[in-house]
Chain A
Amino acid sequence: DAGVTQSPTHLIKTRGQQVTLRCSPKSGHDTVSWYQQALGQGPQFIFQYYEEEERQRGNFPDRFSGHQFPNYSSELNVNALLLGDSALYLCASSQLYFGTGELFFGEGSRLTVL
């Protein structure tokens, strides 16, 4: 049973560019959440998707957007990249209504903005 998979694992962009990160949830999960983990910090909640809709959002600007597909996979898009967007981006999946409340995390996509 594959867990949460994310791609790419590493990428380098320059300021002002746009980036798309991808996530496939654990089998049987219907909800995907995205977190940003800056170096030396704990993860911070970006947003959560369920039934292809953004269900909750953290304190992140509109430059951060997402999408969920019918197969429950998800994308995180960041526009107009800033140096401060350099971080590990973690995807987590769960079952919204019939699960245990536990989030399963992928290994992350490490974004470096130069």
Chain B
Amino acid sequence: AQSVTQLGSHVSVSEGALVLLRCNYSSSVPPYLFWYVQYPNQGLQLLLKYTSAATLVKGINGFEAEFKKSETSFHLTKPSAHMSDAAEYFCAVRPYNTDKLIFGTGTRLQVFP
């Protein structure tokens, strides 16, 4: 069964510092990959998605992620953290030939002034 692993349930950075949130997937066939953000008491908002086009994917709010097949990774980065980036981030995979998403357990990002 396919799965997603997010390393680090909590990540803390200073405002202006690099944000790196890690995601590894297990799949024999390159899947569709997604990053979602969840603010407190809200639903999920799509940050970006990989659908087998360019391996470097740019999303909203300055986030981007790089698909690395050899490492089965899809890490999320942002060059400079902002206080408003504090939220829960979820990596998800959509296995080939299905419509459901399999989510990781999430990473809570804290941003300190």
| Residue in contact with A43 in the complex, picked from B32, B49, B51, B103, CB distance below 8 Å | B103
Is A84's CB within 8 Å of the partner chain B?
A: no
Find out whether the CB atom of A105 lies under 8 angstroms from the CB atom of B94. no
Q: Is the interface of B mostly helix, strand, loop or mixed?
A: strand
B35 CB to closest chain A CB (Å) equals 12
Is B28's CB within 8 Å of the partner chain A?
A: no
Number of A-B contacts (CB under 8 A): 60
Is A101's CB within 8 Å of the partner chain B?
A: yes
Find out whether the CB atom of B46 lies under 8 angstroms from the CB atom of A102. yes
Chain A residues near B45 (CB-CB < 8 A): 105
Assembled-state Cα–Cα distance A104/B32 (Å): 16
A41 CB to closest chain B CB (Å) equals 6
Find out whether the CB atom of B43 lies under 8 angstroms from the CB atom of A105. yes
Given A41-B105, A42-B106, also A108-B43 (CB < 8 A): yes
Q: Considering only CB atoms, which chain A residue lies closest to B45 in the complex?
A: A105
Chain B residues near A102 (CB-CB < 8 A): 34, 46, 49
Is B102's CB within 8 Å of the partner chain A?
A: yes
| Residue in contact with B103 in the complex, picked from A40, A44, A107, CB distance below 8 Å | A44
Assembled-state Cα–Cα distance A56/B44 (Å): 21
One digit per residue, 1 when the CB lies within 8 angstroms of any chain A CB and 0 when it does not, for chain B 23-63 equals 00000000010101000011111100101000000000000
What residues make up the interface of B, taking CB atoms closer than 8 Å to A?
Answer: 4, 32, 34, 36, 41-46, 49, 51, 90, 92, 94, 98-106
Can you report 17 residue pairs joining A to B where beta carbons are below 8 Å apart?
A31-B99, A41-B105, A42-B92, A43-B44, A56-B98, A56-B99, A90-B44, A92-B44, A101-B32, A101-B49, A102-B46, A102-B49, A103-B46, A105-B36, A105-B44, A106-B43, A107-B43
